[in-house]
Amino acid sequence: MSQGAGDSRSLLVLAGLLAVLGLAPTSAIHVYTPREVYGTVGSHVTLSCSFWSSEWISEDISITWHFQAEGSRDSISIFHYAKGQPYIDDVGTFKERMEWAGNPRRKDGSIVIHNLDYTDNGTFTCDVKNPPDIVGKSSQVTLYVLEKVPTRYGVVLGSIIGGALLLVLLVVALVYLVRYCWLRRQAVLQRRLSAMEKGKLQRSAKDASKRGRQVSTPRREGGVKRGAGI
Amino acid sequence: MLLLLLGIIVLHVTVLVLLFVSTIVSQWLVNGGQTADLWQNCSSGTIFQCLTSSTNEWLQSVQAMMILSIIFSVLSLFLFFCQLFTLTKGGRFYITGIFQILAGLCVMSGAAIFTVRHTDWHQASENTSYGFAYILAWLAFPLALASGIIYVILRKRE
C-alpha cells in the first residue's frame, strides 16, 4: 500500500512539473521606444525602436510602423520591413521624407523622418514580429513638432554649476603652481647667494692668511680658489 | 584666542544655515494661500498640492547660484579646518576667505536675478509679497562677505 502511495506521489510531482512546463508562457517579444520625441519644424527626427526577442533573428522578421495623426482615429501603415527588404511610404504623407535607419540583426528598427511639419504631430507605433516569437506588445511614441524645442530641464543648471566649479578649480591650481615655481626659484637664488657668500669669506680668509705668510714664503702664490663664483 | 575662533566658526555656520534654509524652504514668493519658490509652487487652500516650478532658464540660473553658494560655503568651512592645522604661524586664511566671499557673491547674484526676473515664470498679482526665505538669502549675502573678509584679515597665532 505504501509503495502505491509513493508511486502515486512521484507521478503527481511529474505531472505537476509537466503542467508547469506546458503551461509556461513562451517568452514574448518586447518592443521599446521612447515615450515622447520633440522635433523642430523643418528639421529631421529619429524615431528609435529597439526590440528583444528570445528567438534568433531570422529572415522572416517583420517590422511595421503605423502613424495615427493627432485628432484622427485612423492608424495608417507607413513602413514595413519583411524578408530583408524595407518598404518605405512612397505615396502617402511621408512620401520621400522617410528613411530606414534600422538594423534587425542589431535589434534596431528605427526610422528617420525629414523635413518635419505640423501635420506630423501624432502617435507612431512600432511593431516587430520575429516568427516563431510573435506574441508581444507594440510600443508607441508621440511626436511633438514645435517652433523651438525647449531645452531639457537641468541643462542650464548643470552647465552653470559645472562651469563655475571648473573655473574656480583652474584658478586655484594656477595660483598654487605659480606660487610653487616662485618659491622654488627663490630657493635656488638663496642657495646661489649663500654659496657666493661662503666663497667670498673663504677668499678673504685665504688673503688674510697669505698676507700673514708673505714674509716667510714669498713663493707660494697663485692657487687662489677660482671655483667660488659658480 | 579661543573665543575668537569660536566666534568665527559660529558666524560661518550661521551663514551656512541661512543658505541652506533659504535654498530649501518654499517661501520666496507668497501670494495669499500660494507659495512659490525655487523648486516648487505649493498652494494650501482647500486642497494642498505642490507642482514643480517652470523650467525657465532664469529660474535654473537662480537655482544654480544658490547651490553654488552652498557648495562654496561648505568648501570654505572644510578648508578653514585644513588651514587651521597646516598653516604656518602668521599666515593668512586666504583661500578660506576667498571661497566664502565667492559664496556671498553667488547668493547676491542669485537673489538679484530672482528679483529682476521672477515675473517671467510667476504672474504677479497685487498681494504678492516676498517670503522669508528670500529675505534670508539677502541676509546671508553681507554676513558671508563679512565672514570672508575676516578670514582674509585674520592671522594665524599660537
pLDDT at A92 over 60: yes
Structure pTM? 0.62
B34: its cell numbers: 500660494
Chain A interface mutation, best of B52, B54, B56, B68, highest count of A Cβ atoms under 10 Å: B68
The per-residue pLDDT for A219 is 53
| Close Cβ partners of A30 (under 8 Å, ≥ 6 residues apart) | A51, A52, A53, A136, A137
Q: What single-letter amino acid sits at A3?
A: Q
Inter-chain CB pairs, A–B, below 8 Å: 33
Specify which of A21-30, B48-57, B130-139 reaches the highest per-range mean pLDDT: B130-139
The per-residue pLDDT for B156 is 80
The full set of domain ranges for chain B reads 2-20+30-153
Which residue in the block uniquely carries the three cell numbers 579646518?
B81
Q: How large a percentage of chain A has pLDDT more than 70? A: 85
Instruction: Determine how many CB atoms are found less than 10 A away from the CB of residue A22.
Output: 7
For chain B, say whether A201 makes contact (Cβ under 8 Å): no
What architecture does CATH give domain B2-20+30-153?
Answer: Up-down Bundle (1.20)
| Between residues A89 and B125, the one the model is more confident about | A89
Cα-based torsion angle of the residue sequence A173, A175, A181, A183 in order, rounded to the nearest 10 degrees: -120
Q: How large a percentage of chain A has pLDDT more than 90? A: 34
Contact A125, A138 (CB under 8 A): yes
Helices B2-24 and B94-117: crossing angle, nearest 10°?
A: 30
Confidence of residue A178 (pLDDT cuts 50, 70, 90): very high
Q: How large a percentage of chain B has pLDDT more than 90? A: 48
pLDDT at A27 over 90: no
The per-residue pLDDT for A93 is 85
Instruction: Determine how many CB atoms are found less than 10 A away from the CB of residue A224.
Output: 10
For chain B, say whether A168 makes contact (Cβ under 8 Å): yes
Contact B96, B81 (CB under 8 A): no
| Between residues A176 and B57, the one the model is more confident about | A176
CA distance B66 to chain A (A): 10
pLDDT digits (tens, 9 = 90+) for B55-82: 788 888 999 999 999 999 999 999 999 9
Q: Rounded to an integer, what distance in angstroms lies between the CA atom of residue A223 and that of residue A214?
A: 14
Q: Is A152 left (phi over 0), alpha (psi -120 to 50) or beta?
A: beta
The per-residue pLDDT for A7 is 75
Q: What single-letter amino acid sits at B74?
A: V
Confidence of residue A147 (pLDDT cuts 50, 70, 90): confident
| Between residues A223 and B35, the one the model is more confident about | B35
DSSP character string of B76-136: HHHHHHHHHHHSPTT-B-HHHHHHHHHHHHHHHHHHHHHHHHGGGTS---TTEEE-HHHHH
Q: ipTM strictly over 0.85?
A: no
- Interface contact B57-A168, CB threshold 8 A: no
Backbone angles phi, psi at A126, to 5 degrees: -110, 130
pLDDT at B112 over 90: yes
Q: What is the mean pLDDT of residues A46-50?
A: 92
Q: What single-letter amino acid sits at A111?
A: I
Q: How large a percentage of chain B has pLDDT more than 70? A: 99
- Interface contact A165-B71, CB threshold 8 A: yes
Specify which of A1-10, B11-20, B149-158 reaches the highest per-range mean pLDDT: B11-20
Asked which of A48-57, B13-22, B51-60 is least confident by mean pLDDT, the reply is B51-60
